[in-house]
Structure formats: structure tokens, C-alpha cells
Amino acid sequence: MEADQELVLSNSATSGNIFSQYIESPSIFTDKRVLTSSFVPGSIPHREEEIKHISSVLAPMLRGYHANNVFVYGTCGTGKTICCRFVVSQLQEAVKAAATQIKVIYINCKMERVSDTEYRLFAQMLKQLGEEVPYTGLPTDVIYRKFFAKVAEKKQSVIIILDEIDALYKKVGDDFLYNITRANNELGEANLSIIGITNDISFRDNLDVRVKSSLSEEEVMFRPYNAVQLRDILSSRAKDGFVKGAVSESVINKCAALAAQEHGDARRALDLLRVAGEVAERMGETVVKERHVDVAEEKIDLDRITETVKSQPAQSQLVLYTIIKMNEEAKQKEKWADRRLLTGDIFSKYEELCRANGAKVLTQRRISDLIGELDMFGIINAKVISKGRHGRTREISLAMNETALGKVRNYLMNRFG
Ligand SMILES: Nc1ncnc2c1ncn2[C@@H]1O[C@H](COP(=O)(O)OP(=O)(O)O)[C@@H](O)[C@H]1O
Ligand SMILES: [Mg+2]
């Protein structure tokens, strides 16, 4: 204790507090939370139609009637989650005046563990209805009945929002959806409605026809935003998040235009604006400039690539590391001109790396699949080329810029040597 105090004293005596520069220089932000994607703003421009549609479906609940299930889909960042949460929060506010009860359960199925098994899912849903159950131990059908009994316990409407429902389907199949979308007959005076949300436009095609028809009694599609709409969204958030005058119209336009190019993703637009603000602040500036948006764009892409690589399974990382190493070797041999890396070429190097790391050696076929995935993530380019009567192969090149490559390479080198 005494030693600590001494340390503080001697520090401030010599050079002042190391954080004082951050306190003294005024922040560009008034409230940075407003610019993060989990914040729910007071108004949601350009989604009036969708909000109206969803609320008209749920409205019968105000009179204690059953509401249809809703299926909400569209690419990421189109406002699906925020609109659904907004509608149910409005509904819960409105219900205070009515003589009925509405409970909302929200599950993000992508969140690890919660939706890994049917059991965990029911446990989580029960918890949100105020009943604690152990996370393991009971047979699934027992917890199943417990949940329906809890819903049926009084006259009430329960809405289950299953966000990123495709992730749930991948983990537990569609039996769960079948049972839950058909439970209403057994619920007495209570009723249950599902709002299923997905970024995966073709998700519905996988479902059993019966599940499909009951899940999507109503469908609401969210279209990508265009640059003009993104500009409005950013302007209203910027007004609440930044100091007056810190963000010019041209900066907002730039973020909106960049995000519009990338499938009209409002999350991307907000990230660009927030990170540009952070970049400006770190450089000690009081106004966000267009060049800060350029830096933000690079930084976000870099983070995205490294995060993607880190989240890949070890085998996929080994394949990528093989490709990176072979590229480097080709470079050293100055064989740039005929540097064509084909799927078949990487096998022996890959095998060598596997052995050095005590990893199982996968078949050419599986490696080919992994290469396809890396291509899909935009980490490599794998162009399919024909080898005449010898069938087809893929020509592989790296899709990352030098900075990203350097970071990824370091990460893989630390992991695999
Ligand atoms: N119309 C809008 N007005 C204000 N913010 C929006 C709007 N649409 C999306 N956003 C914001 O963009 C981000 C992504 O929206 P979200 O609802 O999570 O997209 P999705 O669920 O479709 O992937 C969130 O931060 C959200 O607040
Ligand atoms: Mg979402």
C-alpha cells in the first residue's frame, strides 16, 4: 500500500499523469455508444413499411389473440434485428394500457452455447420467463413440457425472437422449429408466436415444407439500403454521437457511399464512421476528415481478415499457411512469371507441415473443400481452370494486401512454426 502511494507520488512529481493528455484534449464524441451496433436509436428511418408490417401482424396480441409467426430475412446490416426489437419494445409499452400480458424471449442463435442443443435452448427460454432450470441433467422431453407448461400457466402471449435462426437450424435441425411452431393447440388460453430472423436469403429452402409454411405465415423482406438512405441513418446517429461540427457532410457521404457499394450494410457504415472518429481522435484532431475514413476502412478490413483467419479450424489454417509459404518460396526463386499455384501442388508441402505439427493429413478432396471456403471468405482467390481431359483444378493466389498478409503470416508462424 505504502509502496503504491510512493510510486504514484514520484510519477506525478516528475512528469504528470500519463493520462492527462486524454482528459485535457476535448473528445470528438459526445456519446460513443450511440455509434455502436448494439445501440437502439429512438427513430429508425427508411424502415417504415417493414415496421408497419411486423406491427400489424403482432397487433392481435393486444387483445389477447394469437398472432401469426413472422419470418424476417435480408442481407446483413439491413436493420432486421433493430426493427424487430423496436416493434416488440413498442408493443410491450402499449400493452401496459391493455388488460393482457405479453412476454418476449430474445435468443441470438449464433451466440455460443445457448442454442447448441435443444435442451440449452429451452433452459434459456425458461430462464427468460423467470424459471431457472439446471443447464444439464433433465431429459429433453421433460424440459420441453416444462416450457410449454410455463407458457400455458396463465393467459398471456409469448413472442420468441429467434435471431440468426439459420445457426440454430445448423446445430439442432428443424424438429425444434416444427414442435414449437405447432404448440398453440396445447397452450390453453395462452399463445405463442415466433419471429425468425436470418441473413441467409436461401435459408428457407432447406426447411421441411411443414416447418416452412408454419414459420413463414408472414414474411418480411429487408432490402439493402442505398447510399442516400445510409446517409440519413448516419446523419441522425452522428448528431447524437459526435460533438457538433466534428463531422462534415462529406465524411458522412463517404461512409455512406462505401457501405452502399458493399451490399448496403448499415453496420458497415456505422463502423466506418465510428472508427474514423477514433482515428481522428488518436491523431489529436478535433474534426473527422475524409482521410480518416480511408484509414478506418483499412483498419476494419484488416481486423476482419485477421479475425476470420483466427476463427478458422486448424486444418484450414494449415492449408492457408501452406499457400503463404509456397508463395514466398516462389518469390525467392524469382519465378514470378510462371508462378501458378494449383490445388495439386500444395499437397506435399501441406503434408510436411501437418507432420511437423502432429496434425492429421486430410485427403486432397477435403483440402479442395477448405480451399473453396478460404476463397469464399475472400482470403484467397481460387479460380477454377480446366485441365482438358484431366478434369478441373484451381489456380490459387492470395487475396490479402501486404499489411494483412504480414499479420496473418505472423499469427500462423507463431502457431505452426
Ligand atoms: N434504419 C436504420 N436507422 C438507424 N440505424 C439503423 C437502421 N438500420 C440499421 N441500423 C443500424 O445498423 C446496425 C445493423 O443493424 P441490424 O438491425 O443489426 O442489422 P441486421 O440484423 O439486418 O444484420 C445497427 O447498429 C443498427 O442500429
Ligand atoms: Mg441481425
CA distances for 412 relative to 154, 310, 320, angstroms: 56, 9, 9
Residue 147 lies in a domain: yes
What span, in angstroms and rounded, lies between the C-alpha atoms of 181 and 209?
13
- 179 and 66, same domain (yes or no): yes
Q: Tell me: the pLDDT tens digits for 207-241?
A: 889 999 999 999 999 999 999 999 999 999 999 99
Look at residue 389 and tell me whether its pLDDT is greater than 80. Answer: no
Q: How many CB atoms lie within 10 A of CB 237?
A: 21
Residue 215 lies in a domain: yes
Residue 13 lies in a domain: no
77 lines ligand 1 (CB under 6 A): yes
- How confident is residue 3, by pLDDT bands cut at 50, 70 and 90? very low
**Summary mean pLDDT of the chain:** 89
198 lines ligand 1 (CB under 6 A): no
- 100 and 200, same domain (yes or no): yes
Of 192, 221, 250, which one is at a domain's C-terminal end?
Answer: 221
Domain of 235, CATH number, reads 1.10.8.60
Q: Cell triple for residue 156?
A: 398471456
Ligand 1: which residue has its CA nearest to atom 16?
A: 79
Identify the residue with better confidence: 297 or 1: 297
Of 309, 334, 361, which one is at a domain's C-terminal end?
Answer: 309
76 lines ligand 1 (CB under 6 A): yes
Residue 156 lies in a domain: yes
Q: Which letter does DSSP use for residue 31 in this model? A: -
- 134 and 257, same domain (yes or no): no
- 149 and 206, same domain (yes or no): yes
Residue 15 lies in a domain: no
Of 201, 221, 241, which one is at a domain's C-terminal end?
Answer: 221
Q: How many CB atoms lie within 10 A of CB 398?
A: 18
- 360 and 235, same domain (yes or no): no
Q: Cell triple for residue 23?
A: 482528459
80 lines ligand 1 (CB under 6 A): yes
- 177 and 99, same domain (yes or no): yes
Q: What confidence score (pLDDT) does residue 2 get?
A: 45
- 304 and 362, same domain (yes or no): no
Quick one: CA torsion of 348, 349, 355, 361, rounded to 10 degrees? -60
Residue 113 lies in a domain: yes
Q: Tell me: the pLDDT tens digits for 80-118?
A: 999 999 999 999 999 887 778 999 999 999 886 777 788
Cβ–Cβ under 8 Å, residues 70 and 194: yes
Domain of residue 127 covers 48-221
Residue 396 lies in a domain: yes
What span, in angstroms and rounded, lies between the C-alpha atoms of 68 and 370?
41
Ligand 1: which residue has its CA nearest to atom 27?
A: 37
221 lines ligand 1 (CB under 6 A): no
This prediction has a pTM of 0.80
Mutational pocket test of ligand 1: of 82, 234, 255, the residue with most ligand atoms within 8 Å of the beta carbon: 82
Q: Tell me: the pLDDT tens digits for 360-379?
A: 999 988 999 999 999 988 89
Domain of 385, CATH number, reads 1.10.10.10
- 115 and 94, same domain (yes or no): yes
Query: Which residue carries 423467470 as its cell?
Result: 130
Residue 14 lies in a domain: no
- 55 and 174, same domain (yes or no): yes
Domain of 84, CATH number, reads 3.40.50.300
44 lines ligand 1 (CB under 6 A): yes
- 271 and 375, same domain (yes or no): no
Nearest CA to 259 out of 239, 236, 280, 229 is that of: 229
Average pLDDT over residues 255-284: 94
Q: What confidence score (pLDDT) does residue 124 get?
A: 92
β partners of residue 71: 196, 219
What span, in angstroms and rounded, lies between the C-alpha atoms of 271 and 8?
37
Question: For the chain, what is the domain count?
Answer: 3
Q: What confidence score (pLDDT) does residue 387 get?
A: 76
Q: At residue 320, what are phi and psi to the nearest 5 degrees?
A: -65, -45
- 324 and 383, same domain (yes or no): yes
- 156 and 303, same domain (yes or no): no
The amino acid at 89: S
β partners of residue 392: 386
